[in-house]
Amino acid sequence: MWGGRFAAGPGALMQAINVSIGFDRRLAAQDIAGSKAHSDMLAAQSIITAEDRDAIHMGLDEIKAEIEAGTFPWSEELEDIHLNIEARLKDKIGEAGGRLHTGRSRNDQVATDFRLWVREHVELFQNQLTALIEALVEQADANADTIMPGFTHLQSAQPVTFGHHMLAYAEMFARDRARFADCHTRLNESPLGAAALAGTPYPIDREMTAKALGFSRPMANSLDAVSARDFALEALSAATICATHLSRLSEEIVIWTSAQFQFIKLTDAFTTGSSIMPQKRNPDAAELVRAKVGRIMGAFTALSIVMKGLPLAYSKDMQEDKEPVFDAFDALELGLAAMAGMVADMTPNKERLAEAAGAAFSTATDLADWLVMNLNMPFRDAHHVTGTIVALAEKQGVTLDALALADMRSVEPRITSDIFNVLTPLASATSRTSYGGTSPDNVRQQVTSWKAKLT
């Protein structure tokens, strides 16, 4: 297909390293769409005849049907998806098939196909993230007043609500969705018509092909159009951050489902058993989602290294752009679907969560705040008094709300019985009414706001 100057075909090793049809056949639908837009434009500009355009479209439709049916005769000798489709088109419609490539190159063709493919997946991820956020908001709605321990350093810190915890992840995934939306804005420019690197002398209409393919505009510089892969890097960057959030939530699910925590339960739909330990219910879905970040981050690193030293414009190195992106996006698509399913599937163990929320003197800060607000004590002094009271409770083996008032007064005589109004986990969480705080009323307000945004 690229002969003329070459008297012989590629050697076996060259063929092995050069061929990409094994993976870039995933771009078939995008390649056909781009070719239809290009041939429509060529006909509109009188570069080819309407009859040739109609024949091209008919042939491309037949090729698409063959690919979907699994009967397309793929050939490694034809290197890639573009040459495979072009050769098949010539077989079907003859000379008209050879006119399709007028005014374009494989360089702008692959750049267009790849942008279209990445754009479709960026849109998919935004939809998947919306579904995940909806699942988190539903859990928050159902558990606005379900008390659980909040952690720092994985040590019990202060009581929070389960709903508040779910909404924290909703915020994270909303930022991921926004990152993909921003990425979509920048990648949605058409390389088609840049040809090999310098443009073309044919009177093409790049605005027409850009509009036909749903791009906002044609790319303004032909060198940039064929050589840029930052759209894929940016999408991989957003995917990596998103996968990191998925991994954090997966880690919590793994911890929460353990026998030591028992904070939540997952059904058989998202757990597996053991081949020799019949009591086991393993959170394998969460563990596998947690692992996906490695593949996705690795893809970002791989493509960054491929691109880091390339001069303008196109280099064959760029053939290595697709496999890491394909692999990473497959992993993220599966991870997002699995996480949305797990979030909807999980059932909080409210009794166990409440018990854990009161452990490890988690309302100590509430005691200190009471001293500040009711006794006008400087916070640092209140912190010291509270620490002494906590040590006293720890010595007696009781929680703060079970410590006798007389014992507290032995440390600070001005303490009154009102102190017990803030020493339970529910009272602690309910008192956190500042904007963004964990109080059940705050959670319900945020749920209402989220539902309005998601409709």
Q: Which listed residue (153, 275, 417, 434) is catalytic? A: 153
Q: Which listed residue (75, 216, 258, 274) is catalytic? A: 274
| Alpha-carbon torsion (9, 10, 15, 18), positive or negative | negative
Under DSSP, the state recorded for 310 is P
Helix (H) or strand (E) holding 159: strand 155-161
How far the first Cα of the chain sits from its last, in Å, is: 52
Asked if the bond preceding 313 is cis, omega within 30° of 0, the reply is: yes
The crossing angle, in degrees rounded to 10, of helices 81-93 and 106-142 is 120
Alpha-carbon span 328 to 212, nearest angstrom: 28
Closest alpha carbon to 135 in 373, 339, 332, 387: 339
3-state DSSP helix/strand/coil percent for the chain, to nearest 5?
65, 5, 25
* Three-state secondary-structure class, residue 158: strand
Q: Tokens representing 67?
A: 């690919």
Amino acid at 254: V
Alpha-carbon span 367 to 321, nearest angstrom: 57
DSSP string, 173-235: HHHHHHHHHHHHHHH-EE-TT-TTTT--SS---HHHHHHHTT-SEE-S-HHHHHH--HHHHHH
DSSP string, 335-387: HHHHHHHHHHH-EE-HHHHHHHHTGGGTTHHHHHHHHHHHH---HHHHHHHHH
* Three-state secondary-structure class, residue 151: strand
Q: Determine whether 274 is an active site residue.
A: yes
As annotated, the active-site residues are: 153, 274
